[in-house]
C-alpha cells in the first residue's frame, strides 16, 4: 500500500512543489538543489549543479559484524570450578595479544611457522587443511593435513604453544563436517594443497563460504566405517552398494537428538565470555 | 522425644531394682542386656528439622554475617600481637597449607618444553590450634590448619569448639603439621599461596578417587586368565593364593576389596608459578584426588630437594607485611605469555 501511495504521491508532490516554487520564486525549497538559492542571490544565470546522488539504504541486506568466539574459550560441561577456566582464559588472552591467532574453521587452509631447533634457519613452515580442532583452554589443538611428495602428513599443533611464530589463514572456508578425519581414506588429491599457494583475501564481515565438496574415497577397508550414522558425515560421496548403506543405517540412534541430558546450551556462556574476552583484548 | 528418656530411666530402675518380677522372667535364665526389654533410643535429627523456614533463613544469614566479620577481623595478623617471629635456620620445619585441587593445565618453559601442572587454590586457610611440644610428645610442636569454609550445621560440637576458640569460620578439612619451635604461628592467622615460592618442591597429600569394591586385576594389576582355550568361568580371578607347605594364607595377601579413597602423597613436586591475586599454586605433575578435592601441601622432605629452602617466607607469608608481591610469580624457566614467542638461536 505504501508503494502504491508512493507511486501516486511522487508526481503529485513534485507538481505541488513546482507550483509552490513557481508561485514564490525566491522561496527556499528544501526539495530542490541550491539552484533556486543562487537565482535568489545574484542575477546571473546559475551554474549547473548536478542533483545530489540518492543514498540507497538497502535494508534487506543487514550487515552484521561477525562474532566469532574461538571454540577453545567455551568451557566443557563438568564439575570443575569456573575459576580454573577464567585463569586459563587470562593466559590465552595474553598470548593472543602477542601472537595474532586468526579465525579459522575445520576445512580452512592454514600455514603455520614454528621455531625448530634442528632446522638450518631455526623455523619450519607447514601448510595444510585443518581437519580437526580439539581441546579446551590452553591445551587446545588443531590438526593440519597435507600430502607432500605422495606421503600424507598430519601435524597436530597446540594453539598456545610459544614455539608457534605465525599462523596465517590462506583460505578461509568451512566444510560440510566438523571433523575431516575421513580425508585419510579419501583419494590423495583431496588432501593435496600447494605449499606456496597465495592467500585468498576475505573481508571480516562476509559470511564464511561453505564448501559443498563431496569427497571420493579409496576402496574399502577404511580406518573407520565412515558410512555409519554415528559419524554423521555429509561430505563423502559414497559409492558403496545399497545393502551396505542399509546395514549401516540399522545402527542409527534417532532417539539421541531428543535426549535432554545431552543438551548443552552454551549461548549465555558464550555471550559472557565474548564480552569478557573482547574487553581484555582491547586493553 | 522426652517420653523415651523416661522409659529408659524406668527400665534401668526396673533392672537395677528388685530381683524377680517381670524383668527376670523376660530375660530367661541369664540376665540379658536390657535392650531386650526396653527399645533403644536412636533419635537422629538434622539441624533444621524442627525449625520453621524463617528461622532457618535467619540462622543461615546470621552465620554468614558472623563468619564474614570473623574473616575480616583476621586479615591483619601482624597488627594484632602476633607471636614472636624468628629467622629461618637450617633444620627448621614450617607449616603447610590446605588447598583445593582445581584441575590441570599445560605450562611451557623458555626452551619450548611442555609440562602438565595442577592448579591448587588456597581458599580461606587459617591456623586453628597450637599444641606445644611438651603437650605433644616432647619433641615437635603441632599446628592444626583448616581449609575451605563450610557450614557449621552438620558438624559436631567438639569440632565447632576448635573453630570458635580460634575465632574463625568452620572449615571443611583440618590437618596437623609437625612444626619446629621457631615456626609456630598464632591461631587465627590466615595462610596464603605466597607461603610457597616458585622453584621450591612440595609434597601433596590427598584422598585418592574411590573406585569402590574392585577385583584383583584392577586393584593389584594381576594378569588374570586367558579369554579362550577352555577356561571355565575363570578370566579375572586371582588364581592360587598360597601353597600347601605353608598351609595358610599370609596376612596382607592381595585380594579383591575396596579400592581408592585412601590418603596418598606425591613427593617432590616442583612449584612453577604462584598467582597471589587468586591464591593459586601451579604444581608440576598430577596429584591424587578428584577435581575440587581438598589437599594438604607442605615443603618437601626429600633430602635432594632441600637446597631451595634458603630463604622461604618464615614462619609464613603475611599479606599485610611490608612485602608487596606482583600478581604472578614465575620460576626462572617458565615461559610467560606476555613474552614474545620462543625462538632458537
pLDDT at B218 over 60: yes
Average pLDDT for residues B107-127, to the nearest whole number?
95
Residues A230-258 have pLDDT tens digits of 999 999 999 999 999 999 999 999 999 99
Position B235 scores a pLDDT of 94
Rounded CA-CA distance A172/B307 in Å is 53
Contacts of B340 in chain A (CB under 8 A): 98
pLDDT at A102 over 70: yes
Q: Which residues contact A116 (CB under 8 A, 6 or more apart)?
A: A122, A123, A124, A163, B344
Rounded CA-CA distance A140/B335 in Å is 17
Cα dihedral across residues A200, A206, A208, A214: positive or negative: negative
pLDDT at B19 over 60: no
Position A215 scores a pLDDT of 95
Average pLDDT for residues A172-189, to the nearest whole number?
94
- The answer to which of A52-61, A105-114, A193-202, B126-135 has the lowest mean pLDDT is A52-61
Instruction: Give the rounded distance of the alpha carbon of B41 from its chain centre.
Output: 33
Helix (H) or strand (E) holding B6: helix B2-16
Question: Looking up cell 544565470, which residue turns up?
Answer: A45
Q: Are B102 and A154 in contact (CB under 8 A)?
A: no
Rounded CA-CA distance B196/B96 in Å is 9
Cα–Cα separations (whole angstroms), residue B196 to B31, B108, B140, B275, B312: 63, 20, 22, 11, 7
**Which of A84, A95, A115 lies at the smallest CB-CB distance from B102?**
A84
Cα dihedral across residues A252, A255, A256, A258: positive or negative: positive
Rounded CA-CA distance A92/A258 in Å is 35
Average pLDDT for residues B19-39, to the nearest whole number?
52
Contacts of A92 in chain B (CB under 8 A): 337
Rounded CA-CA distance A153/A207 in Å is 30
Helix (H) or strand (E) holding B203: strand B201-207
**Which of B103, B121, B344 lies at the smallest CB-CB distance from A117?**
B344
Residue of A nearest to B275 (CA): A87
Contacts of A138 in chain B (CB under 8 A): 105-106
- The answer to which of B213-222, B270-279, B308-317 has the lowest mean pLDDT is B308-317
Q: Is B112 left (phi over 0), alpha (psi -120 to 50) or beta?
A: left
How is residue A47 written as a grid cell?
Answer: 551554474
Strand order in the sheet with B141-146: B174-179, B141-146, B125-131, B190-191
Rounded CA-CA distance A185/A226 in Å is 9
Question: Looking up cell 596376612, which residue turns up?
Answer: B251
pLDDT at A8 over 50: no
Which backbone phi and psi does B99 adopt, to 5 degrees? -130, 170
**Residue of higher predicted confidence among A16 and B174:** B174
How is residue A265 written as a grid cell?
Answer: 546450551
| CA angle (A206, A208, A210) in 5-degree steps | 145
- The answer to which of A56-70, A104-118, B130-144, B278-292 has the lowest mean pLDDT is A56-70
- The answer to which of A37-51, A67-81, B45-59, B252-266 has the lowest mean pLDDT is A37-51
Cα–Cα separations (whole angstroms), residue B63 to B70, B149, B152, B158: 10, 12, 8, 18
> Among B99, B120, B93, which Cα is nearest to B296's?
B99
Position A5 scores a pLDDT of 42
Residues B181-195 have pLDDT tens digits of 999 999 999 999 999
Does residue A87 belong to the interface with chain B, where contact is any CB pair within 8 Å?
Answer: yes
| CA angle (B117, B121, B127) in 5-degree steps | 130
Which backbone phi and psi does A87 adopt, to 5 degrees? -60, -40
Position B331 scores a pLDDT of 94
Beta-ladder partners of B227: none
ipTM: 0.83
pLDDT at B214 over 90: yes
Interface of B with A in 116-145 (CB under 8 A): 119, 121
Position B13 scores a pLDDT of 59
Which backbone phi and psi does B307 adopt, to 5 degrees? -70, -25
Beta-ladder partners of B266: B204
Average pLDDT for residues A99-105, to the nearest whole number?
94
Q: Are A33 and A48 in contact (CB under 8 A)?
A: no
Confidence of residue B21 (pLDDT cuts 50, 70, 90): very low
Look over chain B and give the mean of its residue pLDDT values, rounded to a whole number: 88
Q: Half-sphere exposure of B96 toward its Cβ, with a 13 Å CA cutoff?
A: 20
Position B10 scores a pLDDT of 52
Q: Are B98 and B173 in contact (CB under 8 A)?
A: yes
Question: Looking up cell 549543479, which residue turns up?
Answer: A49
Interface test with A, best of B287, B342, B345 (most A CBs within 10 A): B342
CB atoms inside a 10 Å sphere around CB B163: 22
Percent of chain A topping pLDDT 70 = 82
Look over chain A and give the mean of its residue pLDDT values, rounded to a whole number: 86
Q: Are B268 and B301 in contact (CB under 8 A)?
A: no
Residue of B nearest to A81 (CA): B102
Q: Half-sphere exposure of A171 toward its Cβ, with a 13 Å CA cutoff?
A: 19
Position A52 scores a pLDDT of 86
Distance from CA of B297 to the nearest CA of A (A): 19
Rounded CA-CA distance B215/A210 in Å is 52
Residues A12-29 have pLDDT tens digits of 444 544 554 455 554 454
Distance from CA of A130 to the nearest CA of B (A): 22
Rounded CA-CA distance B290/B288 in Å is 7
**Residue of higher predicted confidence among A40 and A169:** A169
Does residue B291 belong to the interface with chain A, where contact is any CB pair within 8 Å?
Answer: yes
Percent of chain B topping pLDDT 70 = 89
Position B47 scores a pLDDT of 87
Interface A-B: count of C-beta contacts within 8 A: 75
Does residue B103 belong to the interface with chain A, where contact is any CB pair within 8 Å?
Answer: yes
Q: Are B316 and B92 in contact (CB under 8 A)?
A: no
CB atoms inside a 10 Å sphere around CB B194: 20
How is residue B257 written as a grid cell?
Answer: 576389596
Contacts of A88 in chain B (CB under 8 A): 105
Helix (H) or strand (E) holding B160: helix B157-166
Position B212 scores a pLDDT of 96
Cα dihedral across residues A127, A129, A132, A133: positive or negative: positive
Residue of A nearest to B116 (CA): A139
Q: Half-sphere exposure of A26 toward its Cβ, with a 13 Å CA cutoff?
A: 4
**Residue of higher predicted confidence among A31 and A165:** A165
Q: Are A75 and A269 in contact (CB under 8 A)?
A: yes
Which backbone phi and psi does A144 adopt, to 5 degrees? -110, 140
How is residue A197 written as a grid cell?
Answer: 599457494
Instruction: Give the rounded distance of the alpha carbon of A125 from its chain centre.
Output: 24
Cα–Cα separations (whole angstroms), residue A238 to A10, A21, A235: 60, 73, 9
**Residue of higher predicted confidence among A139 and B28:** A139
Amino acid at each position: 500500500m505504501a508503494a502504491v501511495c508512493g507511486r501516486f504521491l511522487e508526481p503529485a508532490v513534485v507538481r505541488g512543489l513546482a507550483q509552490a516554487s513557481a508561485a514564490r520564486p525566491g522561496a527556499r525549497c528544501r526539495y530542490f538543489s541550491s539552484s533556486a538559492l543562487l537565482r535568489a542571490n545574484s542575477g546571473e544565470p546559475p551554474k549547473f549543479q548536478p542533483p545530489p546522488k540518492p543514498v540507497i539504504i538497502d535494508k534487506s541486506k543487514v550487515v552484521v559484524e561477525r562474532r566469532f568466539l574461538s571454540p577453545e574459550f567455551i568451557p566443557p560441561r563438568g564439575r570443575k570450578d569456573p575459576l580454573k577456566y577464567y585463569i586459563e582464559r587470562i593466559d590465552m588472552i595474553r598470548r593472543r595479544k602477542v601472537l595474532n591467532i586468526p579465525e579459522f574453521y575445520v576445512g580452512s587452509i592454514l600455514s603455520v611457522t614454528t621455531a625448530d631447533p634442528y632446522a638450518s634457519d631455526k623455523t619450519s613452515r607447514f601448510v595444510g587443511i585443518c581437519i580437526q580442532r580439539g581441546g579446551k583452554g590452553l591445551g587446545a589443538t588443531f590438526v593440519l593435513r597435507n600430502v607432500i611428495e605422495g606421503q600424507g602428513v598430519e601435524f597436530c599443533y597446540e594453539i598456545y604453544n610459544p614455539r608457534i611464530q605465525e599462523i596465517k589463514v590462506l583460505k578461509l572456508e568451512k566444510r560440510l563436517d566438523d571433523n575431516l578425519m575421513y580425508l585419510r581414506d579419501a583419494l590423495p588429491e583431496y588432501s593435496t594443497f600447494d605449499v606456496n599457494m597465495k592467500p585468498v583475501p576475505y573481508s571480516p564481515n562476509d559470511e564464511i563460504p561453505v564448501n559443498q565438496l563431496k569427497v571420493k574415497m579409496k576402496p574399502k577397508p577404511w580406518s573407520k566405517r565412515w558410512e555409519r550414522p554415528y559419524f554423521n558425515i555429509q561430505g563423502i560421496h559414497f559409492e558403496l552398494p545399497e545393502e551396505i548403506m542399509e546395514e549401516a543405517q540399522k545402527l542409527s540412534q534417532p532417539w539421541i537428538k531428543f535426549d535432554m541430558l545431552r543438551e548443552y546450551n552454551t549461548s549465555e556462556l558464550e555471550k559472557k565470555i565474548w564480552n569478557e574476552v573482547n574487553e581484555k583484548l582491547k586493553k | 522425644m522426652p517420653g523415651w528418656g523416661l522409659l529408659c530411666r524406668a527400665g534401668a530402675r526396673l533392672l537395677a531394682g528388685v530381683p524377680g518380677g517381670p524383668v527376670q522372667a523376660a530375660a530367661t535364665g541369664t540376665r540379658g542386656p536390657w535392650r531386650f526389654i526396653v527399645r533403644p533410643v536412636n533419635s537422629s535429627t538434622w539441624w533444621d528439622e524442627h525449625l520453621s523456614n524463617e528461622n532457618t533463613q535467619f540462622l543461615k544469614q546470621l552465620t554468614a554475617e558472623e563468619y564474614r566479620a570473623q574473616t575480616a577481623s583476621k586479615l591483619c595478623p601482624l597488627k594484632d600481637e602476633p607471636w614472636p617471629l624468628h629467622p629461618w635456620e637450617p633444620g627448621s620445619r614450617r607449616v603447610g597449607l590446605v588447598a583445593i585441587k582445581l584441575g590441570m593445565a599445560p605450562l611451557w618453559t623458555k626452551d619450548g618444553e611442555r609440562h602438565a601442572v595442577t592448579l591448587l587454590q588456597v581458599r580461606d586457610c587459617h591456623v586453628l590450634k597450637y599444641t606445644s611440644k611438651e603437650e605433644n610428645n616432647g619433641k615437635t610442636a603441632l599446628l592444626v590448619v583448616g581449609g575451605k569454609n563450610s557450614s557449621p550445621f552438620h558438624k559436631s560440637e567438639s569440632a565447632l569448639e576448635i573453630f570458635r576458640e580460634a575465632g574463625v569460620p568452620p572449615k571443611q578439612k583440618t590437618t596437623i603439621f609437625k612444626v619446629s619451635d621457631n615456626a609456630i604461628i598464632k591461631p587465627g592467622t590466615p595462610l596464603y599461596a605466597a607461603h610457597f615460592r616458585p622453584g621450591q618442591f612440595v609434597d601433596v597429600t590427598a584422598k585418592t578417587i574411590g573406585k569402590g569394591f574392585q577385583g584383583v586385576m584392577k586393584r593389584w594389576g594381576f594378569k588374570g586368565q586367558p579369554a579362550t582355550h577352555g577356561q571355565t568361568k575363570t578370566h579375572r580371578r586371582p588364581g592360587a593364593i598360597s601353597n600347601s607347605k605353608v598351609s595358610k594364607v599370609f596376612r596382607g595377601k592381595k585380594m579383591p576389596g575396596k579400592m581408592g579413597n585412601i590418603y596418598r602423597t606425591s613427593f617432590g613436586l616442583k612449584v612453577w608459578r604462584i598467582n597471589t591475586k587468586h591464591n593459586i599454586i601451579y604444581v608440576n605433575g598430577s596429584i591424587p584426588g578428584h577435581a575440587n578435592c581438598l589437599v594438604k601441601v607442605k615443603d618437601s622432605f626429600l633430602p635432594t630437594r632441600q637446597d631451595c629452602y634458603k630463604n622461604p617466607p618464615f614462619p609464613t607469608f603475611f599479606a599485610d607485611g611490608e612485602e608487596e608481591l606482583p600478581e604472578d610469580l614465575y620460576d626462572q624457566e617458565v615461559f610467560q605469555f606476555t613474552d614474545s614467542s620462543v625462538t632458537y638461536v
